[in-house]
Amino acid sequence: MFLTRAERRRRRRRRRLAFLLAAAVSLTAWAAVAQSGRAHPGQRRGTPAGGAASLGGRPASPGAPGSQGATGPGTRSAGAGLAWAGFHGIQLPVSAQDGPRRTRGGLAWGFTDTPRGALLAAVNIAVRTGAQWGPAIYQPTIRDQVTGPDAAALLKADASDYAALRAAARVRPGQPAGRGYAAEAGYRFVACTPAGATVDIVTEGPGSGGTTVMVATRVQVVWLRGDWRVVAPPGGDWANSATAISSLTGYTTFPNER
């Protein structure tokens, strides 16, 4: 199909915007005690319990001084031996043992209370908070699998972002406004306990001029009512938890991402 120069520029801009939205929302977390969680996303959301407090509240940004990374049992191997499942153009990590145990209508839930389960929850839940997938995915994900004081702000921001993305993509209301162009590249645990975990997740994708951009996003999860929940980013904006990086030094790479 022939595209005009203006159409090619618009397509490149949409690709970059789609990556930045997905990158600011991409992640990973932990593996040790096998305790299955099967909470349905329809459950009412609660507020963070001791898990969030035990992680010291809101941690520093990815790559900030003092971010040495956690090295407890299972944290470095949490990303090993995973399978990958397609989600709107993005490959997301999954495990038959550690989750997600349930998937339906683009949603995913049911993770084990282990380092690997926390990692999988962080990635799979946070990515699904992206506005571009449409309200059928981001609304129930945020309502039922995101907690913390900024969850309402995240939901409000998504509604605004989706309206803009839908108009730019010229799709019908409720439909996805684009596909993802990012790939999960690596992770680093900052903290990890059975009650909560904080992990920096590195996403890479296309930048301008044919370059590759890498973004580290800090994601916090807490164990509530038998499953992991993602703590909403500060101000309801994943950009506040994301930092551009130039190297994977200090991170554990996903060995079999494809």
Residue of 202, 166, 168 whose CA lies nearest to 182: 202
Task: Please report whether residue 46 resides in a domain.
Answer: no
For residue 154, being part of any structural domain is answered with yes
Q: Is residue 186 part of a domain?
A: yes
Amino acid 215: pLDDT: 94
Mean pLDDT of 38-55: 31
The predicted pLDDT at position 6 comes to 62
pLDDT above 80: residue 56: no
Residue 205's SS3 state is strand
**Pair of tokens at residue 199:** 């992990």
The yes-or-no verdict on residue 214 having pLDDT over 50 is: yes
Judged against a pLDDT cut of 80, whether residue 47 lies above it is answered with no
Judge whether 54 lies within some domain. no
Residues of the domain holding 230? 5-39+61-253
Distance between CA atoms of residues 76 and 91, nearest Å: 20
- What is the structure's pLDDT at 2? 60
| Per-residue burial over 50-62, b = 16 or more CB atoms within 10 Å of its CB, e = otherwise | ebbeebeebbebb
Contact call for residues 195 and 35 (beta carbons, < 8 A)? no
Cα dist from 166 to 17, 44, 97, 156, 178, whole Å: 13, 29, 37, 16, 8
Residue with token string 């969850």: 151
Q: Report yes or no on 55 lying in a domain.
A: no
Q: What is the mean pLDDT of residues 131-143?
A: 97
Task: Determine the pLDDT at residue 205.
Answer: 87
Query: According to the model, what pLDDT value does residue 61 have?
Result: 53
122 part of a folded domain: yes
Task: Report the C-alpha gap between 189 and 197 in whole angstroms.
Answer: 8
pLDDT for res 234? 97
Q: What is the pLDDT of residue 91?
A: 94
Structure tokens that stand for 254 in this block: 């996903």
Average pLDDT over residues 81-92: 94
Distance, CA of 146 to chain centre: 11
Among residues of the chain, what percentage have pLDDT more than 90? 63
Does 56 map to a domain?
no
Per the structure, how many domains does the chain have? 1
Considering only residues 199 and 71, tell me which one the structure prediction assigns the higher pLDDT: 199
* In a domain? residue 227: yes
> For residue 89, which of 176, 155, 160, 5 has the smallest C-alpha distance?
176
pLDDT band with cut points at 50, 70 and 90 for residue 74: confident
Q: What mean pLDDT, rounded, does the chain reach?
A: 80
- CA distances from residue 198 to 37, 40, 115, 230, 248 in whole angstroms, order as listed: 19, 23, 10, 10, 18
Read off the pTM.
Answer: 0.76
